[in-house]
Amino acid sequence: MSLLEQRYRSVLRLLPASYRAEREEEMVAAYMEMSGEVPDEVNPRPRWGEIASVLALSMRVRLGGAGASPGFVVFGTAVRLVALLGLAYQGMDAARVVAVVARAVMFGTAIPLAGEPGSIDRLLSLLDSMAAVGPAVAFTAILRGHVRPAKIAALLGVAPTLVYFALPMILIGSDEIRPLPESADLLFAIVPVLALLAGFHGDVPPWRRSWALALAPPVAGAAVIGLTWLAVEVRLPVPDWLSLWLDLGLAIAVWAAVSVAVLVRRSSPSWALALSAAGLLMLLTRLPMLVYLPEGVLWTTACAQCALLGSLTLVLAGAGARALVKARPVAQP
């Protein structure tokens, strides 16, 4: 065996063992044919482009690409579901931002933006408000089969969050930095985008769903903000603890109901894994509130939400992991 062939085989170890067992010889033969006869004395190595292509192939296979084993098919579907769940929640939040701006325009009130006019804080706040629609556009686009526009919209939507996270580290001296909540918010925003970028690769056929499903998150978000404003206008007695069920808390309630249904029906392990990942992200976002909330009913409510998230996330992860071990071929949604 020549030195170049040994190195090609070393590079191919990046691929899953199941995939390598079927295609390693074929791939090595193809690489060696393209390289020609190269003596060991010149210390030949695989090209960087070839290594990059093997890395990309390895990621696609591990995310349910062509030739993937049933376990990787399940895992790839779970990653794509994490992207959709995260973008769906962010799409609901986008409806709130749009509704606030629309209300300010209609009634001639000031649009709530941070910072003084002309300051960098005001500019970032404006960009953040504009970018809030990115996840809603990304969710709609991916469910209508437009993968590239969805990825662009998701990246534009998360960009202000990355700037808000990095800026205090650059502008030293801010006393308002709260590392735990800001780090959790960053993860909550960026993980679905990364799942979208990685999960919807070239081997995954485009998903095409109805317009009703594709537009469901912003419509639901608009309904929630509308009902909230209505309750304020008619001056309904709203307890303080209810506020924790109207932001992320609403997503927690929906997530818990879906999780219980998945566990009871013992449906696709992909859903169990995706819901456990979503639950972990929400838990990491909620936990820092316990440090800053005053003791009382608000703190108790946040504790209850954390307990619900923690317990169900563990059960879902266990169910998904057990099913993943003995996964059989499943159809992607």
How many helical (H) and strand (E) elements, i.e. helices and strands, does the chain have? 14, 0
Q: Which of 196, 205, 110 is nearest to 156 (CA)?
A: 196
What's the average model confidence in pLDDT over 286-299? 87
Rounded to an integer, what distance in angstroms lies between the CA atom of residue 305 and that of residue 244?
9
Give the angle 317-320-321 at the CA atoms, nearest 5°.
80
With pLDDT > 90 as the criterion, what percentage of the chain qualifies? 45
Rounded to an integer, what distance in angstroms lies between the CA atom of residue 175 and that of residue 164?
15
Q: Which range among 12-21, 116-125, 272-281 has the greatest average pLDDT?
A: 272-281
Rounded to an integer, what distance in angstroms lies between the CA atom of residue 219 and that of residue 223?
6
What's the average model confidence in pLDDT over 82-102? 86
- The pLDDT of residue 179: 66
pLDDT above 50 for 172: no
Rounded to an integer, what distance in angstroms lies between the CA atom of residue 268 and that of residue 17?
24
pLDDT above 60 for 170: no
DSSP-based three-state secondary structure for 113: coil
Q: Give per-residue pLDDT as tens, 226-268.
A: 877 777 777 777 677 777 887 788 899 999 999 999 999 877 8
Residues in the chain: 333
pLDDT above 70 for 109: no
Q: Which of 109-118, 233-242, 284-293, 307-316 has the lowest mean pLDDT?
A: 109-118
Q: Which of 131, 141, 251 is nearest to 200 (CA)?
A: 141
What's the average model confidence in pLDDT over 181-187? 81
> What band does 76 get if pLDDT is binned at 50, 70 and 90?
very high
Angle of the 216-233 helix axis to the 133-143 helix axis, nearest 10: 140
> What band does 18 get if pLDDT is binned at 50, 70 and 90?
confident
pLDDT above 80 for 182: no
In the chain, where are the structural domains located? 3-61, 63-325
With pLDDT > 70 as the criterion, what percentage of the chain qualifies? 84
Mean pLDDT, rounded, of the chain: 84
| Residue bearing tokens 């504009």 | 130
- The pLDDT of residue 48: 94
Q: Give per-residue pLDDT as tens, 49-69.
A: 999 999 999 999 999 888 888
- The pLDDT of residue 221: 86
> What band does 159 get if pLDDT is binned at 50, 70 and 90?
confident
Q: Which of 2, 5, 56 is nearest to 28 (CA)?
A: 5
Q: Which of 132-146, 192-206, 242-256, 303-317 has the lowest mean pLDDT?
A: 242-256
- 79-95 burial, b at 16+ Cβ within 10 Å, e below that, comes to bbbbbbbbbbbbbbbbb
Q: Give per-residue pLDDT as tens, 305-333.
A: 999 999 999 999 999 888 777 654 444 44
Q: Which of 62-71, 98-107, 149-158, 174-183 has the lowest mean pLDDT?
A: 174-183
Rounded to an integer, what distance in angstroms lies between the CA atom of residue 16 and that of residue 27?
14
The sign one gets for the Cα dihedral 185, 163, 86, 133 is positive
